């Protein structure tokens, strides 16, 4: 999520390098390589090769949800295996806990589908405005 937010915020300037994101977000470049590979395969980012290469968003930030970002990285967000596969547990058919976990999972998915990259950018901008340092001389 931090990679995508950084890309959205700094992508207005052109392509964004992995090295720059790693530095700003304090995330190892090696880890980010794994992230960008999956995000690129999911069609969320594009790579430009060469000396002036880097990454850009493919879609409008208003149309990229948190779920779009997390699905290729984390897979299904089921909190408990049996919520997606009843066969994961022999008690599934009569289990109240499974029903509760399914409700919680649906609520989580619904929340992730309402949070967009644009929303994250707005929250980022608001935080930046509040954390501007002032010096008393």
| Mean pLDDT in residue range 8-28 | 92
**Per the structure, how many domains does the chain have?**
2
CA distance 6 to 86: 39
Has residue 90 been placed in a domain? Answer: yes
Has residue 92 been placed in a domain? Answer: yes
CATH number at residue 38: 1.10.10.10
Has residue 131 been placed in a domain? Answer: no
pTM attached to this predicted model: 0.83
Has residue 71 been placed in a domain? Answer: yes
For residue 49, the enclosing domain spans 1-60
For the stretch 37-79, pLDDT in tens is 999 999 999 999 888 889 999 999 999 999 999 999 988 777 8
Has residue 45 been placed in a domain? Answer: yes
Residue that terminates a domain, selected from 19, 37, 60: 60
CA distance 18 to 101: 37
């Amino acid at each position: 999520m931090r990679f995508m937010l950084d890309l959205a915020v700094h992508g207005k300037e052109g392509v964004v390098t992995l090295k720059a994101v790693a530095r700003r977000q304090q995330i190892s470049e090696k880890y980010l390589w794994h992230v960008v590979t999956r995000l690129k395969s999911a069609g969320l980012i594009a790579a430009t090769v060469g000396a002036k290469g880097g990454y850009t968003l493919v879609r409008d930030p208003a149309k990229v949800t948190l779920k779009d970002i997390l699905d290729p990285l984390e897979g299904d967000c089921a909190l408990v295996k049996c919520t997606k596969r009843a066969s994961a547990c022999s008690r599934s058919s009569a289990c109240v806990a499974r029903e509760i976990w399914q409700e919680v999972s649906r609520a989580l998915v619904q929340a992730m589908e309402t949070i967009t990259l644009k929303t994250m950018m707005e929250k980022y901008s608001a935080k930046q405005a509040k954390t501007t340092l002032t010096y008393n001389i």
